[in-house]
Amino acid sequence: MTAVSATDSILGNAAALACRECGAQYPIGPRYACDMCFGPLEVVYDYPNICRDTIESGPRSIWRYRALLPVPDDVLDTPNMEPGFTKLIRADNLARELGMRRLWVKDDTGNPTHSFKDRVVAVALAAARALGFRVLACPSTGNLANAVAAAAARAGIRSVVFIPADLEQQKIVTTAVYGGTVIAVDGTYDDVNRLATEIAGEEEDWAFVNVNVRPYYAEGSKTLGYEIAEQLGWRLPEQVVIPIASGSQLTKVDKAFTELGKLGLVDATPYRVYGAQAEGCSPVAQAFRAGLDVVRPVRPNTIAKSLAIGNPADGPYVLDVCRRTGGAVEAVSDEEVVDAMRLLARTEGIFGETAGGVTLGVLRKLLANGQLDPDAETVVLNTGDGLKTLDAVAPVVTPSATIPPSVEAFREVIEQLC
Amino acid sequence: MTAVSATDSILGNAAALACRECGAQYPIGPRYACDMCFGPLEVVYDYPNICRDTIESGPRSIWRYRALLPVPDDVLDTPNMEPGFTKLIRADNLARELGMRRLWVKDDTGNPTHSFKDRVVAVALAAARALGFRVLACPSTGNLANAVAAAAARAGIRSVVFIPADLEQQKIVTTAVYGGTVIAVDGTYDDVNRLATEIAGEEEDWAFVNVNVRPYYAEGSKTLGYEIAEQLGWRLPEQVVIPIASGSQLTKVDKAFTELGKLGLVDATPYRVYGAQAEGCSPVAQAFRAGLDVVRPVRPNTIAKSLAIGNPADGPYVLDVCRRTGGAVEAVSDEEVVDAMRLLARTEGIFGETAGGVTLGVLRKLLANGQLDPDAETVVLNTGDGLKTLDAVAPVVTPSATIPPSVEAFREVIEQLC
């Protein structure tokens, strides 16, 4: 599929980095922006001949797809979190409520730290070690921080996580418990990010997963696409709804579907990709509606904090994918987010985080406005766990009744509730 | 292995209920105590001829062992949470710190609601449906409530969960979000329990998972034992450390190991079973130390709330198992619990709940006092998720440093931290 060769690559079949803007190629190494045009770099492969059997006989984790990831051949030999191969759940109850024919939830709450970030961090860590980095780092306010601190602990390497000092205590605890270094920064998340990028430029052996090893990190999201296809019995779904933060995940699922088709692992049937944002941070949805190719940054204001990136790096590529495949990008209000979280929990017993609510909320909206086909097989992503965003639903989720401890009181109230 | 026959059983190979005290047998049905002596009933089986291949080709959930569970043959056809087959993690970092040779963590945080309760609830639900119950219910303060509400939602049946009215809001949210009926009771947990037992006696089509369908429910814990053996490559470990709440889980892991040996699925090699309690609720450990056969109830006072059962129903059976196998029962302080939670997170990237801290803390103590062999292959259970018991570690887990957003400030602090 590419002319590059991975013969000497230390990262498996990853052959080179290519600029997504100008196409300039660079050898595999610790770089992330094009020297020519400053465009983002992406991993290109010397694709192997690979068959379904090889994958199916691999480990029950993202590493079953290691031949299609930028990781060293011996990745299985190093202790790691073994994320991925989470459940693809046939959501018949939910489909019935929505008037859909066949709906699946790809449920990443089953990952080790209960979000999809375990996937991308595992790939970043494997690549970073091979490239000679000695510290795993990131700026983050939540899921990414958890995943980096946990993965570094398992791998036995140092982690340094930068967080805003005013972060809720519970989010600090869920990162600091893994025993890495957690540096609280007096400032906004933007300040934290800026500081991390500066440090990444100075500390040569620090891999900031979402900064200087981002091209490798981002590839980890392809595994969502691979798993969906394999779990459907080596088929592509007709429609897939994906949340947008930086937008990287959406573009990588599309990349995965395309690769699988080209490699002959699935029939390259058409599919439509839909992107989901919260209205309080919907720069890509706004650009989609306006028919623009560029994404105008916004200042986020939504309960869906894990998606609250006001200037999404992959926004333009998301627009490309959604338009090319005949999908769309939509946004829902925080109220619709909470409604959708409750709907998913009530119908399927899956308590997703706000990002899951955004994605299901958008699916619902797309159905209502006719952009999503209720009769086409659809997969919706739930990328994180409701346990991490309890505040979102707490105000509206309360006991059905409060009673004194007597059977009489129970009888009285249960009749009203039935 | 038993003379009973499951020919007509509606619950697969489950053939009868037998009193654990007097041995009286009853047909499979909605009963849980012996009419003769009031002893607890246990499921006995007409064991099938079953080979490893059959199990290995089954689903990646507890249902791969359905032939050894009291569930209907068509259990796979009904929507359910598909719990189990969680990771058995080779814990080399932790083993190194503890001076052990080969240590594994059976990590049940990977279950759908992130505790082992998904296993027992799934079996209870499957049995309850087959027995004609129409409502799934329980008294609970935590993990069980989550599991019941979620499982009922997925199965599309009604749930009624009874909780103490003064429960922390976050625990109410994580149950109520699934949309079942949640009844808050003004009173202690004991009051809630009593009320539930009274109602269980009156509402004929309500299955209180841990009350009137308890014999079936309890069998779900056998799957922990089956999985450990299968994941070790069809071998029994030499030592296993298990938390004690009611004590049922420990006795069922022992039952599972025994069954596997008798069925020829593993070599019946000797193993030692160790039980773990928190000092603030250690009636079984106290009885073990005192050489008693009876367990004197205590009033619980520990941060390990999911283990805080002051009058554990299976306490005497736990003593039997631990003594028969050459194991022990120990208890650790709340401080040791927190230390162990942090140790597990720091070395293996696993954030377990307080129960996990109890279990690992006890393992550590047993090593120190020479009761556990550091050279024998050992499995320690982590039965729940740290995300649900954040309060336990929050006071002692803080950022490493707080700095202003400048590289200079970072340099200053990072040198001190290195």
Disruptive mutation site among A108, A177, A186, A195 for chain B (greatest number of B CBs within 10 Å): A177
Confidence (pLDDT) at A6: 60
Rounded to a whole number of angstroms, the distance from the CA of A165 to the nearest CA of chain B is 7
Give B291-340 pLDDT, tens digit per residue.
Answer: 999 999 999 999 999 999 999 999 999 999 999 999 999 999 999 999 99
Rounded to a whole number of angstroms, the distance from the CA of A263 to the nearest CA of chain B is 27
* Assigned CATH for B87-114+218-396: 3.40.50.1100
CA-CA distance, B276 to B228, in Å (whole number)? Answer: 18
For A:336-355, CB contacts with B below 8 A are 341-342, 345-351
CA-CA distance, A249 to A242, in Å (whole number)? Answer: 8
What residue ranges do the domains of chain A occupy? 1-47, 87-114+218-396, 132-212
Query: Which residue of chain B is at minimal alpha-carbon distance from A347?
Result: B153
Identify which of B160, B346, B413 has the shortest CB distance to residue A153: B346
Using the beta-carbon criterion (under 8 Å), do A177 and B400 form an inter-chain contact?
Answer: no
Residue A189: pLDDT band (50, 70, 90) is: confident
Mean pLDDT of A387-398: 92
For A:133-162, CB contacts with B below 8 A are 149-154, 156, 160
What residues in B contact A93, CB-CB < 8 Å?
A: 79, 153-154, 156
Contact at 8 Å (CB) between B259 and B236?
no
Contact at 8 Å (CB) between A346 and A352?
no
Contact at 8 Å (CB) between A187 and A220?
no
Q: Does A195 touch chain B (CB under 8 A)?
A: yes
Q: Does A58 touch chain B (CB under 8 A)?
A: no
CA-CA distance, B193 to B214, in Å (whole number)? Answer: 14
Disruptive mutation site among A160, A173, A396 for chain B (greatest number of B CBs within 10 Å): A173
Using the beta-carbon criterion (under 8 Å), do B183 and A399 form an inter-chain contact?
Answer: yes
Confidence (pLDDT) at B3: 45
Give A201-211 pLDDT, tens digit per residue.
Answer: 999 999 999 99
Q: Does A21 touch chain B (CB under 8 A)?
A: no
Give A17-66 pLDDT, tens digit per residue.
Answer: 999 999 999 999 999 999 999 999 999 999 999 999 999 999 999 999 99
Give A267-276 pLDDT, tens digit per residue.
Answer: 999 999 999 9
For A:395-414, CB contacts with B below 8 A are 397-407, 410, 413-414
DSSP 8-state class, residue A281: B
Q: Does B57 touch chain A (CB under 8 A)?
A: no
Would you give per-residue pLDDT tens digits along chain B (418 residues)? 344 566 668 999 999 999 999 999 999 999 999 999 999 999 999 999 999 999 999 999 999 999 999 999 999 999 999 999 999 999 999 999 999 999 999 999 999 999 999 999 999 999 999 999 999 999 997 899 999 999 999 999 999 999 999 888 888 999 999 999 999 999 888 889 999 999 999 999 999 999 999 999 999 999 999 999 999 999 999 999 999 999 999 999 999 999 999 999 999 999 999 999 999 999 999 999 999 999 999 999 999 999 999 999 999 999 999 999 999 999 999 999 999 999 999 999 999 999 999 999 999 999 999 999 999 999 999 999 999 999 999 999 999 999 999 999 999 999 888 6
**Chain mean pLDDT for chain A:** 95
What residues in B contact A198, CB-CB < 8 Å?
A: 407
Disruptive mutation site among A63, A154, A385 for chain B (greatest number of B CBs within 10 Å): A154
Per CATH, is A132-212 categorized as 3.40.50.1100?
yes
CB neighbours of residue A335 within 10 Å? 12
Choose the weakest-confidence range: A138-142, A249-253, B266-270: A138-142
What residues in A contact B351, CB-CB < 8 Å?
A: 113, 150, 174, 177-178
What residues in B contact A82, CB-CB < 8 Å?
A: 87
What residues in A contact B176, CB-CB < 8 Å?
A: 397-400
Contact at 8 Å (CB) between B44 and B57?
no
Size of interface A-B (CB pairs under 8 A): 217
Confidence (pLDDT) at A246: 95
Asked if residue A4 has pLDDT above 80, the reply is no
Q: Could you check whether A87-114+218-396 and A132-212 share the same CATH topology?
A: yes
Rounded to a whole number of angstroms, the distance from the CA of B327 to the nearest CA of chain A is 29
DSSP 8-state class, residue B352: B
Maximum separation of any 2 CA atoms in chain B, in Å: 78
CA-CA distance, B191 to A400, in Å (whole number)? Answer: 18
Reading the block at residue B174, the tokens are: 């994580």
Rounded to a whole number of angstroms, the distance from the CA of B240 to the nearest CA of chain A is 22
Name A102's Cβ contacts closer than 8 Å, sequence gap at least 6: A95, A377, A378
List the one residue out of A149, A189, A147 whose CA is nearest residue A166: A189
Using the beta-carbon criterion (under 8 Å), do A195 and B406 form an inter-chain contact?
Answer: yes
With the C-alpha atoms ordered B120, B122, B124, B126, is the resulting torsion angle positive or negative?
A: negative
Give A288-314 pLDDT, tens digit per residue.
Answer: 999 999 999 999 999 999 999 999 999
3-state secondary structure of A37: coil
Contact at 8 Å (CB) between B138 and B209?
yes
Asked if residue A383 has pLDDT above 90, the reply is yes
Reading the block at residue B307, the tokens are: 């283990």
